[in-house]
């Protein structure tokens, strides 16, 4: 079992940067693939980025490729999402998730955080 808590969201101007952090509890964190998803008002939850257990394999949505970077520190039970060149359309609640394997499909993830709001002003 793992519990996830996101932080780092906030209000930023377009073109700015934010770094989201997901802190995980539990001794099995390093065995999980980790993902970030987001959900804007009135829209379905969508995949953002994912990383495998040791960080040597990452996946990105086309919409964030080249702007966002996912990383993890297993010693600190943390996964990060560095978001640069933010756009208005990046506004959403961002969720951290843990699953057996990193995947773009949210159904592969067993554990979810409560989310953190990111608002980008145009």
Please compute the mean of the pLDDT values over residues 110-119 and round it to a whole number. 97
Choice among 28-32, 64-68, 72-76 with the minimum mean pLDDT? 28-32
Predicted pLDDT at 26 = 80
Q: Which of 49 and 100 is assigned the larger pLDDT? A: 49
pLDDT digits (tens, 9 = 90+) for 26-38: 878 888 999 999 9
Contact in structure between 116 and 49 (CB atoms under 8 Å): no
Find where tokens 């600190």 sit. 76
Phi, psi of 17 (to 5 degrees): -130, 150
d(CA 47, CA 37): 5
Predicted pLDDT at 30 = 87
Predicted pLDDT at 75 = 93
């Amino acid at each position: 079992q793992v519990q996830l808590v996101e932080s780092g969201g906030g209000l930023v101007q377009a073109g700015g940067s934010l770094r989201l952090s997901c802190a995980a509890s539990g001794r099995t964190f390093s065995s999980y693939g980790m993902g970030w998803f987001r959900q804007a008002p009135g829209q379905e939850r969508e995949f953002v980025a994912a990383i495998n257990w040791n960080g040597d394999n990452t996946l990105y949505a086309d919409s964030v490729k080249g702007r966002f970077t996912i990383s993890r520190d297993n010693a600190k039970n943390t996964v990060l999402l560095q978001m640069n060149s933010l756009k208005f359309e990046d506004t959403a609640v961002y969720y951290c998730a843990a699953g057996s394997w990193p995947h773009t499909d949210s159904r592969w993830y067993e554990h979810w955080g409560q989310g953190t709001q990111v608002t980008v002003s145009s």
